[in-house]
Amino acid sequence: MKLHSGFVKLVILLLVTTLYGQLVAPFARSFGSTEAYYLFNKGLLAVLLVAYVVVTGQARAAGLTGSSRLATLPVYWPLFLLTVLLMLAPTTPPDAQTLMLFAGVAVSVGIAEELMFRGLVFHWFRDQTVRRQILISALAFGGAHLFGLLVTDAVAVILAQSVFASAVGAVIACARARDDSIWLPISVHAGFDFVALTAAGGIGGALADTPETVLRLLVSGLLIWLWAAWLIWRAPRHVPAPA
């Protein structure tokens, strides 16, 4: 049986981005904080991905052009609810410079991850049903977070993060299936990450190796998956493939 070309491209993409992460990892000590390193890492990755998509002529198909449909905003309601809950949590507000750093990290991650999983993956599997597109995108997104095991021994946190990421990815993919552009998914993704980083005081706080972190990620991930499952069940079989 012939393997779908999209899966081949997806595996290559994951391997290349993982190799990229390993190549830039030695530079981590050159930065003053984990967030500064992430800004360099994810920012450069976002630039490289955008350049690849534009040079290969996949910009329109991957959603870099086209108009966003604000009518898809209700699909994101679990993420908006989590964002509000994070904003209501008692925290010590960081200074303006740190907030700008968090914003840079959030935007870089949003562009890189949405372009990969709701842009390229959707394009590569455009011949499949919408349900398959959503599930492939979500599971690939969750699976990609397992590569965090290469840089940390916090196994439980990484596994829980993968479950949470797949759920969030499923919801965003359901919205993306109704949209011609990935800019709204990027905005929602970046906004959520920015609030999460601010509430936790940084990446270390957001992914602290504690039972509370694992429980929070698992419970919220499973609840979000319930909403995503409903959306996937109601998804149409096909949408017109982009030219």
- Does residue 26 have a pLDDT over 70? yes
- Residues 49-72, buried b or exposed e (16+ Cβ, 10 A)? bbeebeeeebbebbbbebebeeeb
pLDDT, tens only, 190-227:
999 999 999 888 888 888 889 999 999 999 999 999 99
How big is the CA angle at 15 (ends 57 and 163), to the nearest 5 degrees? Answer: 100
Please state at what angle helix 183-200 crosses helix 96-114, rounded to 10 degrees: 140
* pLDDT (0 to 100) of residue 241: 44
* pLDDT (0 to 100) of residue 89: 80
Average confidence score pLDDT of the chain: 91
* pLDDT (0 to 100) of residue 114: 97
- As given in the structure block, the two tokens for residue 97 are 């410079």
Quick one: DSSP state of residue 95?
P
Those residues whose C-beta lies under 8 Å from the C-beta of residue 237, and which sit 6 or more positions away, are 129, 130, 131
* pTM of the complete model: 0.93
What sections of the chain are H helices per DSSP? Answer: 5-24, 34-55, 77-88, 96-114, 121-124, 130-144, 155-176, 183-200, 203-206, 211-234
Roughly how many angstroms between the first and final C-alpha of the chain, as a whole number?
A: 27
If one compares 232 and 241, the residue with the highest pLDDT of the two is 232
* pLDDT (0 to 100) of residue 123: 92
* pLDDT (0 to 100) of residue 237: 62
- Does residue 162 have a pLDDT over 50? yes
CA nearest to 226, candidates 77, 69, 73, 72: 77
If one compares 110 and 204, the residue with the highest pLDDT of the two is 110
- 3-state SS, residue 195: helix
pLDDT interval class at 243 (50, 70, 90): very low
* pLDDT (0 to 100) of residue 242: 45
pLDDT, tens only, 39-83:
999 999 999 999 999 999 999 999 998 888 899 999 999 999 999
Residue range 79-107: average pLDDT? 90
- Does residue 106 have a pLDDT over 90? yes
- Does residue 1 have a pLDDT over 70? no
